[in-house]
Amino acid sequence: MVAIVKSDRLGIDYEFLHQFCLYVLATAKSVRWAGVVNKNGIIIAQHTREGMKLLLTEEENEEYAASAIARQKTRGRYDSKIGKMRYAFGRYEKLHRATIPINENHYLLVTIDVEERNFDALIIDRMIPLIEKHRSRFVTMNDSI
């Protein structure tokens, strides 16, 4: 039996984050992996679709998360002129990847099967409303990791 830690001394609710990743996976069968990343590019929760073998190692996935957040911070410089980013999307030969801001301190990273053609609707109509529904839970987290 595995015990789930409710929160640590920093106020991070890992049980909620784990459940949130499962909610994201449940938005569509094409969602391969979901992770919540903090503003420093550290994956603080993640979950993989059952039976899915990831293409990147855990270390490579952590490096990717850090670089995705660094790119997001660069994009943020232009918010005043072009507006806030809803999500960033990359199409690769073997999968799709998206970075979706939750708030200024947290981001949702997802990978989606390459066969998924309706990724925009999946993100805009299912994932972003899920984020909006649970956004207040992220605001209360103090993660200075």
Total-model pTM: 0.87
4 pLDDT higher than 60: no
Domain tally, the chain: 1
Give a yes or no: residue 64 inside a domain: yes
- CA pseudo-torsion sign 60, 105, 97, 18: positive
Q: Can you give the residue range of the structural domain that contains 90?
A: 30-117+128-138
Give a yes or no: residue 88 inside a domain: yes
22 pLDDT higher than 60: yes
Give a yes or no: residue 49 inside a domain: yes
Average confidence score pLDDT of the chain: 89
CATH code at position 74: 3.30.450.30
What 3-state DSSP class applies to 125?
A: helix
Instruction: Answer for the pair 35, 109: CB distance below 8 angstroms, yes or no.
Output: yes
Give a yes or no: residue 17 inside a domain: no
| Alpha carbon distances (Å) from 6 to 14, 17, 19, 78, 88 | 6, 10, 11, 37, 31
Give a yes or no: residue 21 inside a domain: no
8 pLDDT higher than 70: no
Give a yes or no: residue 145 inside a domain: no
Span 44-70, mean pLDDT? 94
Local confidence band at 73 (pLDDT 50, 70, 90 cut-offs): confident
120 pLDDT higher than 90: yes
Let me know how long the chain is. 145
